[in-house]
Amino acid sequence: MSSAALRSAVHQSRRTAFARSARFASTSAKAPTLKERLAELIPAEIENVKATRAAHGKKSFGPVIVDQLYGGMRGLPALIWDGSVLDAEEGIRFRGKTIPDIQEALPKAPGGTEPLPEGLFWLLVTGEIPTQEQVTALSKEWAARSAIPSFVEEILDRCPPTLHPMSQFSLAVTALNHDSAFAKAYAQGINKKDYWQPTFEDTMDLIAKLPNIAGRIFRNVYGDGKLPAIEADKDYSYNLAKLLGYAEKPEFVELLRLYITIHSDHEGGNVSAHTGKLVGSALSDPFLAFGASLNGLAGPLHGLANQEVLIWLRKMQSKLGENPTDEDVREYVWTTLKGGQVVPGYGHAVLRKTDPRYTAQREFALKHLPEDPMFQLVSKVYNVVPNVLLEAGKAKNPWPNVDAHSGVLLTHYGLDQMNFYTVLFGVSRAFGVAAQLIWDRALGAPLERPKSYSTAAINSMFQNKQ
């Protein structure tokens, strides 16, 4: 089956599964809560999966070649991930919707223009665009769940400021397992068909508590340790900005709304998403599963990429000045490549075009900070690098990815503590991982156990084959 035909089949399957749901949503007298809506959707989706497996379960995606095993399983179809699908030419779609789609359709904060992440989470879980009322209710529920246990506060307060913020973040999230609803329910013998309910409660608690955890880490490492209170009537991004000390900058709050939304999910094969799904498949609760996700996200090849971009840009700016010519930039890029280094922020394992997440951030910058010197440098790099990479034959995709822009935006508003950037990425990625964990438990997803081979076994297997 071709990739285009597969995408068409997936979209049609989703439309069928959620058509009845959409009709209900449009006629309901009182908008259901997220949990109520999910409970209505699950039976139909269970039947949809059964029908899909009955119709297509024995069909093949195509051959698996040995190079895929040695090459990080690139392009290997191996996972079910409902929230988003990444197309090499088109970019990410959240439940079938592009980033411009969700920027237009999702509810906004009063006076705001960027989508609220609460609405994106609703979309990831249900496949539906929520109402303003539903998003406001979700904001309030997360604010009500936001307090972290005193022992977790103490753990963070006792961490030395030299401990990397991501290590502290993972530590605190893992410690939330102490109060896991799923762990308690499992110990009490809950029926498998009901696994999704305590999983839902845990994921709601997880997302709700992340701003307090992130804010406490930020204030302990970079400030005086004093943390303001979350405001019960404000949205998630506003409260995170307040905890970081940036609530008085409305543009920064808007940036956080965009940032969390576009970083929330990028299908299931990336390290953080796959790790969360893998650990969750062992019926580890969402806190343990997402703690593992964070450890993967902390790696230089995953969540640290935006820092490397910013460091590279600052070195370029230091050498070339604030207003280099295109030719200056071109020569600097060639120097980077000839030095055996990569150009950070360019290329992607799947994408073969400019990352739509980069485009969304560029549009934000053009609107709010067009004269920022670092943004202007990013723009020049954007005009120069793809042609250089094509000329050098260094990349199948010479176009910028999401990391090529995010650090510059955060720095513009004063958040220049680069070691903290991955924590913000982690807050965002919780949305996608949490949504999939809920559906994995609702659909009875099994323990992941792929087959592995040794090099000796591969040589033996193909020894007498052409």
**Per DSSP, which regions of 77-118 are E strands?**
84-87, 91-94
- Which of the two residues, 7 and 324, has the higher pLDDT score? 324
Asked whether residue 212 carries a pLDDT value surpassing 80, the answer given is: yes
Range with the lowest mean pLDDT among 59-63, 344-348, 363-367, 395-399? 395-399
The residue with tokens 């199948």 is 396
The SS3 call for residue 120 is: helix
**pLDDT tens profile 128-141:** 999 999 999 999 99
* Nearest residue to 206 via CA among 257, 109, 280, 134: 280
Q: What is the pLDDT of residue 404?
A: 86
| Cα-based distances in Å from 90 to 196, 264, 399, 421, 423 | 32, 18, 13, 27, 28
Question: What residue type is assigned to position 372 of the chain?
Answer: D
Cβ neighbours, 10 Å, residue 299: 14
**pLDDT tens profile 168-177:** 999 999 999 9
**pLDDT tens profile 70-94:** 999 988 999 999 999 988 778 899 9
For the chain, what is the mean pLDDT?
Answer: 92
Domains of the chain and CATH, by start: 132-302+420-443 (1.10.580.10), 304-413 (1.10.230.10)
Q: What is the pLDDT of residue 394?
A: 63
Q: pTM score, two decimals?
A: 0.91
Q: Residues 139, 145, 149, 150: what is their CA dihedral angle, to the nearest 10 degrees? A: 70
When pLDDT is cut at 50, 70 and 90, the band that residue 10 belongs to is very low
Distance CA 38, CA 439 (A): 9
Q: What is the pLDDT of residue 383?
A: 92
Mean pLDDT of 202-227: 97
HSE-CB of 322 using CA atoms within 13 angstroms:
5
Active-site residues, by number, are: 302, 348, 403
Asked whether residue 17 carries a pLDDT value surpassing 50, the answer given is: no
When pLDDT is cut at 50, 70 and 90, the band that residue 465 belongs to is confident
Mean pLDDT of 109-116: 96
Residues in the chain: 466
**pLDDT tens profile 284-330:** 999 999 999 999 999 988 888 888 899 999 999 999 998 899 999 99
When pLDDT is cut at 50, 70 and 90, the band that residue 466 belongs to is low
The SS3 call for residue 423 is: helix
Asked whether residue 23 carries a pLDDT value surpassing 50, the answer given is: no
Range with the lowest mean pLDDT among 54-58, 249-253, 308-312, 429-433? 308-312
When pLDDT is cut at 50, 70 and 90, the band that residue 351 belongs to is low
Q: What is the pLDDT of residue 29?
A: 62
